[in-house]
Amino acid sequence: MTDKYYITTPIYYVNDKPHIGHAYTSVATDFIARFMRLKGHDVRFQTGTDEHGLKIQKAAESKGKEPLELCDENSRIFRDLTTTLDLSNDDFIRTTEQRHIDGASFLWNRLHERNQIYLGEYTGWYSINDETFYNEKDLVKQSDGSFKTVTGGPVDWITEKSYFFKLSEWSDKLLDLYKKNPDFISPKSKRNEVIKFVESGLNDLSVSRTSFNWGIKTPTDNDHIMYVWLDALTCYANGVKYLTDSENELSVYWNNVVHIVGKDILRHHAVYWPAFLLAADLKLPNKIFAHGWWTNEGKKISKSLGNVIDPIEIINNYGLDQFRYFLLREVPFGNDGDFSVKALVNRINSDLVNDLGNLCQRSLTMIEKKLESIIPGKTSKGPNEEILEKSSEEVIIKGSNMIDEFKIHEYIRIVWEHIGRVNKYFNDNKPWELEKSDEEKFLNVLAVTTEQIRNIAFFINPIIPETSIKILKTIGIDECQFSFKKINNHNIVGNNISSVNHLFTRIQE
């Protein structure tokens, strides 16, 4: 298999205000991208903004702005969010960019040429909130007889001329795809839901609209604009110009594509998107992983409840790495999670301040004070040192297997177990006593501990990259090649420890 990977995260609805869901999707994808780079792969990671649709047209009208003007302003907010979250994305694509419009138009033409699109009339339920058509059986009937989506969003009954994609023709091919590639959709429970949905029979999909015009004109009929999801899903391929220029150097990334998405948009990614690509005879993504949703202190997050969690506010109050750590550690990836300040503070105080922060603080300050800041070299290796070496190697081996299965939280757990072992090694050896009784052992304990701190800085890089770099700088590694294979190339012996600051501050509840 190629060692080039293309890891994608859903592009944000440009009309939304950044919330915890956006942060979660992006941070989790960033973790995977960074981890794959650590494993030595060449990874491309893309995010961006989804800018077409009725919601944006209406929002712009209500503000007396042109839709593009509003998109420009809002897209900037999300671009800034990628910096605030310290995402390592290589690209940020906007669906209003020409490269995207060209790709979406290409796919439309290709489907049209292959007789996969026909003109008809759509009558049924439509949710502007998620720009999605619904069968009545998938909606929730309210006590007043009206219908809402499962997430509580309103739906409208609409009738309009529309082009349809022959989705119904692709059920068998899709089921075949899921069967032959058991890892195509994960986790398993979500895969089963998708299979059930497809098995229950697919209707043709309305893929154009005429009642508003903020979108990409269908190239075969300028009275219609493309359904936003058909438009938006192509962003992944357009970021590497796979559709319009399949010979260009970036399109090799299309050989190994991993889409990370929230569970609410799995159907679009695991049913519609592969069906479009199959119908157009184009290469499919390799894996789709659906993560869970966050609630706030046990309650569903919604604008109407006024309990939307602003990631920037949390970062300002508690710190970026504290927030990243919490998101990735608190909930098994794939499950739903509950945000609470109490849980966040617990994680910060116990895992970051007590475990990681104290280990670095105590050992590195000792080198600073007792050894004039010079990191000593190892002098001997006994069973206790071997335990640490083995434990460190296992983080890489076991961790890699875990991430192949998207078990981010498990990886973090074994990294913290390793941190626990290093802490134990330091405590059990009592270097503060050895200093006088056994100088050689004293130096060895500090050398071994610092070497493990260097390894830990690599291990935590995908989780809390800012802290990882901070630790490496403190132990004299200014230029770092983040690759598991190259950890030992980063020499620390003889390096100067530069001022050891507390990595994390304890939070008083």
| Residues near ligand MSP (CB under 6 A) | 10-13, 16, 21-22, 24-25, 50, 232-233, 235, 261-262, 264-265, 293-294, 301
- Residue 10 CB, shortest distance to ligand MSP, in Å, is 4
Encoding tokens for residue 82? 């990628």
Nearer to ligand MSP among residue 50 and residue 351 (C-beta) = 50
Radius of gyration of the chain (CA): 26
Give CA–CA dist 477/309, Å, rounded.
Answer: 36
Which amino acid is residue 164, in one-letter code? Answer: F
Classify residue 351 by its DSSP letter. Answer: I
- Residue 100 CB, shortest distance to ligand MSP, in Å, is 11
Phi and psi, residue 246, nearest 5°:
-70, -5
Give CA–CA dist 118/162, Å, rounded.
Answer: 8
Nearer to ligand MSP among residue 51 and residue 351 (C-beta) = 51
Give CA–CA dist 404/413, Å, rounded.
Answer: 16
Nearer to ligand MSP among residue 13 and residue 326 (C-beta) = 13
Task: Determine how β-strand 337-339 pairs with β-strand 294-296.
Answer: parallel
- Residue 87 CB, shortest distance to ligand MSP, in Å, is 13
Nearer to ligand MSP among residue 7 and residue 301 (C-beta) = 301
Nearer to ligand MSP among residue 169 and residue 264 (C-beta) = 264
Vertex 43: Cα angle to 38 and 48 (nearest 5): 125
Nearer to ligand MSP among residue 291 and residue 347 (C-beta) = 291
Give CA–CA dist 362/422, Å, rounded.
Answer: 12
Give CA–CA dist 478/160, Å, rounded.
Answer: 61
- Residue 341 CB, shortest distance to ligand MSP, in Å, is 17
Give CA–CA dist 82/95, Å, rounded.
Answer: 17
Encoding tokens for residue 139? 């909606």
Nearer to ligand MSP among residue 47 and residue 88 (C-beta) = 47
Provide the 3-class DSSP secondary structure of residue 51. Answer: coil
- Residue 339 CB, shortest distance to ligand MSP, in Å, is 9
Encoding tokens for residue 271? 């049913």
* Residue at shortest CB range from ligand MSP: 262
Which of 445, 426, 502 shows the shortest CA–CA distance to 471? 502
Write down how long the chain is: 509
Beta bridge mates, 206: 164
Nearer to ligand MSP among residue 13 and residue 45 (C-beta) = 13
- Residue 310 CB, shortest distance to ligand MSP, in Å, is 13
Task: Determine how β-strand 91-94 pairs with β-strand 156-165.
Answer: unpaired
- Residue 490 CB, shortest distance to ligand MSP, in Å, is 35
Nearer to ligand MSP among residue 301 and residue 412 (C-beta) = 301
- Residue 264 CB, shortest distance to ligand MSP, in Å, is 5
Encoding tokens for residue 272? 């519609």
Contact 149, 113 (CB under 8 A): no
Give CA–CA dist 446/452, Å, rounded.
Answer: 10
Nearer to ligand MSP among residue 74 and residue 474 (C-beta) = 74
Q: Considering only the C-alpha atoms of the chain, give the largest distance between any 2 of them, rounded to a whole number of Å.
A: 88
Give CA–CA dist 416/222, Å, rounded.
Answer: 57
Encoding tokens for residue 103? 């790709």
- Residue 161 CB, shortest distance to ligand MSP, in Å, is 25
Encoding tokens for residue 395? 């983080």
Nearer to ligand MSP among residue 39 and residue 55 (C-beta) = 55
- Residue 259 CB, shortest distance to ligand MSP, in Å, is 8
Any idea which residue has 């006593």 for tokens?
433
- Residue 21 CB, shortest distance to ligand MSP, in Å, is 2
